[in-house]
Amino acid sequence: MADLGPGTDVPPRTRQTLALSAGLWLLRLLTAAGLAVDAYVHADLASNYHPATSTIGQDDLFRIEAAAAALAALLLLLFGTRPLVWAYALLVAAAGLAAVLLYRYVDVGTVGPLPDMYEPLWYREKTASAVAETAATLTAAAGLLLARHRRRRLRAADGPTRDGRRGGAGGRHRRPSGPGR
């Protein structure tokens, strides 16, 4: 047991909860940092592309990616214990990584309103974005798993609900079910 001072022992379950919270915070910071790099690079590069006249332009797509990544980073920092926030961060990071790899190695051409974004070369900003998106994807996946585990632990610790099932704030936030309800 860890000793926090005279006569203070920390129970194993509390230590596990503290370790889980610390791990989640570390993943929040790492993922937010990766998403912040992604947002910065895309916002910076958006002005290098010409605005589209009739369809969505590459500049628009870069601005949308920058905004989505910045929002995901902010949501993680504010609400990073919620699995839905982690799922959004994972989606943004993985989609950005998939796009940079696809348009680096495959000449997709124009698809509907999307422009031809094939760039068969690597440069500093593109590499930074890909590395940040890879790191954010991996840490977001780990964060999603950890946040789901944390939520299950908290629900299990709450005790049974009114209908006898385990978890869920003692049934206070569940809608009544069954006939006549």
pLDDT of amino acid 169: 47
Give the residue with greater pLDDT, 34 vs 170. Answer: 34
Question: Is 77 exposed, middle or buried (CB count within 10 Å of its CB: 0-12, 13-18, 19+)?
Answer: middle
pLDDT of amino acid 172: 46
In the beta sheet, which residues pair with residue 5? 8
- In whole angstroms, give the CA distance from residue 111 to residue 108: 7
Share of the chain above pLDDT 90, in %: 60
